[in-house]
């Protein structure tokens, strides 16, 4: 089935994938936009997995100042080549990540980066709350695990919904960029300052 250029452009705008990739995905799904998006996301994930073993030593440190100088963020985002680091999509990604950190104040890049004592404190609070409900222990554990999952979605940057498109997580957003530029990308570290905060 032939697909219109308008449809291809619309899919490209939604996914940032290449024009030919968008055209192929639309042809494969007979013009179904949602299915084409799914196909592109799966391919992006496959590309991301292939790149996982590569070294990411280039990149940039991006800064973002918000709220009249009351919040500031520095974030280091790495890629494989200087060429990719200078590309517009990569720089836009780094800026968006800095804005995300300013807005959501995550505790770490990955959930493994969150200090164990913080997780244990949260777990203890959730267990105490669940026990007050008088439910059996096996139900309490399920409630606690559910609440911890929600905690990770707020506290771990990669698990958070992207503030500019809450249908995808930061991990999805990163994988889309990996598929687009064809290099491994890593959000290495960040620091967030808030005026008057200890």
The CATH number for 31's domain is 1.10.8.10
DSSP labels, 34-64: HHHHHHHHHHHHHHHHHHTTS---EEEEEEE
Q: What average pLDDT does the chain have?
A: 87
User: pLDDT category, 44, cuts 50, 70, 90?
Assistant: low
Shared domain for 79 and 15, answered yes or no, is no
The pLDDT value given to residue 57: 81
Q: Mean pLDDT across the stretch 90-116?
A: 95
Range from 12-16, 118-122, 150-154, 190-194 carrying the lowest mean pLDDT: 12-16
Decide: helix, strand or coil at residue 197.
Answer: coil
In the chain, how many domains are there?
A: 3
The pLDDT value given to residue 120: 93
Shared domain for 44 and 64, answered yes or no, is no
d(CA 17, CA 22) in angstroms, rounded, equals 6
Shared domain for 44 and 98, answered yes or no, is no
Range from 19-28, 35-44, 131-140 carrying the lowest mean pLDDT: 35-44
**CATH number for the domain that contains residue 179:** 3.30.479.20
The pLDDT value given to residue 21: 78
Shared domain for 45 and 17, answered yes or no, is yes
Residue 51 pLDDT exceeds 70: no
Shared domain for 24 and 94, answered yes or no, is no
Q: Mean pLDDT across the stretch 153-161?
A: 95
d(CA 177, CA 167) in angstroms, rounded, equals 16
Question: Residues with Cβ < 8 Å from 127, sequence gap 6 or more?
Answer: 140, 144
Shared domain for 25 and 99, answered yes or no, is no
Shared domain for 36 and 124, answered yes or no, is no
Shared domain for 128 and 47, answered yes or no, is no
The pLDDT value given to residue 49: 58
Shared domain for 64 and 93, answered yes or no, is yes
**Closest by Cα among 104, 107, 101 to 122:** 107
Q: Mean pLDDT across the stretch 60-88?
A: 93
pTM of the model: 0.70
Residue 38 pLDDT exceeds 60: yes
The pLDDT value given to residue 45: 54
Edge to edge, the sheet with strand 71-79 lists 58-66, 71-79, 186-194
Shared domain for 92 and 173, answered yes or no, is yes
Shared domain for 84 and 66, answered yes or no, is yes
DSSP labels, 62-120: EEEEETTTTEEEEEEEEES-HHHHTSHHHHHHHHHHHHHHHHH--SBSSGGGS-HHHHH
Domain containing residue 178: 58-110+156-194
Rg, the chain, Cα only: 20
Shared domain for 9 and 34, answered yes or no, is yes
d(CA 97, CA 80) in angstroms, rounded, equals 18
Sign of the Cα torsion 100, 102, 103, 107 reads positive
């Amino acid at each position: 089935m032939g697909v219109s250029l308008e449809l291809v452009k619309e899919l490209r705008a939604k996914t940032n994938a290449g024009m030919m990739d968008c055209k192929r995905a639309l042809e494969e799904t007979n013009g179904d936009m949602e299915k084409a998006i799914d196909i592109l996301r799966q391919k992006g994930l496959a590309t991301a997995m292939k790149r996982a073993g590569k070294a990411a030593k280039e990149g940039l440190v991006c800064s973002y100042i918000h709220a009249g100088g009351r919040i500031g963020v520095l974030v280091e985002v790495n890629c494989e080549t200087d060429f990719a680091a200078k590309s517009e999509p990569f720089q836009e990604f780094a800026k968006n990540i800095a804005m995300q950190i300013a807005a959501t104040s995550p505790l770490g890049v990955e959930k493994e980066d969150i200090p164990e004592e913080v997780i244990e404190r949260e777990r203890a609070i959730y267990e105490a709350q669940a026990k007050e409900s008088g439910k059996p222990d096996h139900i309490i554990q399920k409630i606690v695990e559910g609440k911890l999952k929600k905690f990770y979605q707020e506290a771990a940057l990669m698990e958070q919904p992207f503030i500019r498109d809450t249908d995808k997580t930061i991990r999805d957003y990163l994988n889309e960029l990996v598929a687009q530029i064809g290099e491994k990308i890593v959000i290495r570290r960040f620091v967030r300052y808030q005026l008057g905060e200890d």
